[in-house]
């Protein structure tokens, strides 16, 4: 259920078909919208029932595999499946259930992709030095493609670095299994349109460690540890390590921002747990160049530096991005309107931005929050634009030599783009085409 326009259900559909299951793919989108995903499954014995979810498809169903993007609490199709007593699972659950390797799971409100990539790079570069001499290290989950097709190549001496979103972890609760090493980068109230309350969101995130054994390890950032304690989320009997910012990493990273120091500290601890020396891990982390669309340096133009942070789809993520720079910045933000609280972001903008260009559905809301935010600093210049391209070109006119222009939307992209990658690529194309 839910093939997805970007192939989110392709891996699990292919894997199930290769296990000789009779697979029916159902999606609300039509064939033309799903063309690229359907093309990847050509030649496999899969039926496509598109444009609607038909309860009659459940009549002979032994298992319903639900895409994590589907809000199961609001789906009549899922309700019908439960009424019929049909087991419900997900791609991640199937992978964890069948994975022979040791799993390192990473979650958090922000930073989980970068932390997962850092850990993978460190482990992959030093396979021969790891405890147990593993055959390989794999990266997947919320980052990259499905790892289900790789199961046949995995062994018990491998490691899997698995980024896990709250939606994926919500499903993992039914499996009652957690990774051998769990990392929680930070926690803030996001995705409440899906989870309802912050407590529900935390409960979903807590599944990354809720079923750990006594010989498993939980790595909590200081911020996450404080939130979980405050919200009385029960911890288990696992070994727990609370981490801050490692002094060994000071001045050693290519990626900017204090948050990346914290991300790298988590990777340093994972390396230690697996027997790598600090010097080896720090050396590898110093080579890490960052991920696309996450505080990605684009170019210098007329002595102003331009950064693409399109992955910042929440107010908290943009506030974190602003904190990465010294001095005032020109901020471009806005996008799909969701029920977020922008107070923290507004305060960060008042402190860090000289000018703000708001675009998208929520542009008026963000501007209102900025004007209302209590701050000792002067109100930044606030511009509201209807058209994305015009906002970027306005930033070019406003920017002064030596300043930073930061594209960090604090919102999802769906009001104008198919995803954050397309949005970020569009920003980079415009900036790189300036002469």
Q: What is the DSSP string of 223-254?
A: HHHHHHHHTTPPP-SSEEEEE---GGGTTT-S
Q: Are 149 and 72 in contact (CB under 8 A)?
A: no
For residue 418, what pLDDT is reported? 87
* CA angle centred on 319, ends 328 and 336, rounded to 5°: 115
For residue 128, what pLDDT is reported? 84
**Tokens matching residue 26:** 């159902």
Q: Collapsing DSSP states into helix, strand and coil, what is residue 97? A: helix
Cα 315 to Cα 415: distance, rounded to the nearest angstrom: 17
**Tokens matching residue 330:** 């020109």
Q: Which residue has the tokens 């290769």?
A: 18
Q: Are 354 and 329 in contact (CB under 8 A)?
A: yes
Cα 208 to Cα 170: distance, rounded to the nearest angstrom: 9
Pure H helices in 107-243:
112-125, 166-172, 192-195, 198-205, 222-230
Q: Count other C-beta atoms under 10 Å from residue 277's C-beta.
A: 12
Cα 406 to Cα 43: distance, rounded to the nearest angstrom: 45
For residue 145, what pLDDT is reported? 84
Cα 91 to Cα 65: distance, rounded to the nearest angstrom: 7
- The low-confidence residues of the chain, meaning pLDDT below 50, are none
Cα 55 to Cα 68: distance, rounded to the nearest angstrom: 20
- Classify 27 in phi/psi space as left (phi over 0), alpha (psi -120 to 50) or beta: beta
For residue 208, what pLDDT is reported? 97
Domains and CATH numbers, the chain: 10-89 (3.40.50.720), 92-285 (3.40.1190.10), 296-432 (3.90.190.20)
For residue 203, what pLDDT is reported? 96
Q: Count other C-beta atoms under 10 Å from residue 218's C-beta.
A: 24
For residue 377, what pLDDT is reported? 81
Cα 121 to Cα 159: distance, rounded to the nearest angstrom: 12
177 contact partners, CB below 8 Å, separation of at least 6: 96, 97, 211
């Amino acid at each position: 259920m839910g093939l997805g326009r970007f192939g989110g259900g392709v891996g699990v559909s292919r894997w199930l078909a290769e296990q000789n299951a009779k697979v029916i793919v159902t999606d609300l989108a039509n064939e033309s919208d799903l063309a690229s995903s359907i093309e990847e499954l050509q030649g496999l014995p899969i039926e496509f029932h598109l444009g609607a979810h038909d309860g009659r498809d459940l009549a002979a169903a032994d298992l319903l595999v639900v895409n994590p993007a589907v809000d199961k609490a609001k789906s009549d199709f899922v309700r019908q499946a439960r009424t019929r007593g049909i087991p419900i699972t997900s791609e991640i659950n199937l992978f964890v259930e069948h994975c022979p390797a040791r799993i390192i799971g990473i979650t958090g409100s922000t930073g989980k992709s970068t932390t997962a990539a850092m850990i993978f790079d460190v482990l992959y570069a030093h396979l021969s030095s790891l405890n147990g001499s593993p055959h390989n290290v794999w990266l997947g989950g919320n980052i990259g493609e499905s790892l289900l097709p790789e199961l046949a190549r995995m062994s018990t001496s491998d490691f899997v670095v698995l980024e896990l979103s709250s939606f994926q972890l919500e499903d993992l609760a039914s499996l009652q299994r957690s990774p051998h090493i769990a990392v929680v980068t930070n926690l803030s109230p996001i995705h409440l349109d899906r989870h309802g309350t912050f407590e529900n969101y935390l409960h979903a995130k807590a599944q990354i460690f809720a079923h750990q054994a006594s010989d498993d390890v939980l790595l909590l950032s200081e911020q996450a540890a404080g939130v979980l304690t405050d919200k009385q989320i029960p911890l288990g009997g696992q070994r727990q390590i609370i981490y801050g910012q490692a002094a060994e990493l000071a001045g050693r990273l290519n990626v900017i921002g204090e948050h990346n120091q914290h991300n790298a500290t988590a990777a340093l601890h994972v390396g230690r747990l697996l027997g790598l020396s600090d010097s080896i891990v720090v050396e590898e982390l110093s080579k890490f160049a960052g991920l696309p669309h996450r505080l990605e340096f684009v170019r210098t133009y007329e002595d102003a530096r331009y950064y693409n942070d399109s992955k910042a789809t929440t107010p908290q993520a943009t506030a974190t991005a602003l904190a990465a720079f010294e001095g005032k910045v020109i901020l471009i933000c806005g996008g799909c309107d969701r029920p977020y609280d922008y107070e923290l972001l507004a305060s960060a903008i008042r402190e860090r931005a000289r000018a703000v260009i708001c675009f998208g559905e929520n542009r008026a809301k963000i501007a209102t929050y900025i004007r209302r935010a209590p701050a000792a600093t002067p109100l930044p210049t606030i511009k509201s634009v209807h058209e994305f391209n015009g906002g970027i070109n306005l930033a070019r006119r406003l920017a002064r030599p030596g300043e930073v222009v930061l594209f960090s939307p604090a919102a999802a992209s769906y009001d104008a783009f198919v995803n954050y990658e397309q949005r970020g690529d569009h920003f980079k194309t415009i900036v790189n085409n300036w002469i």
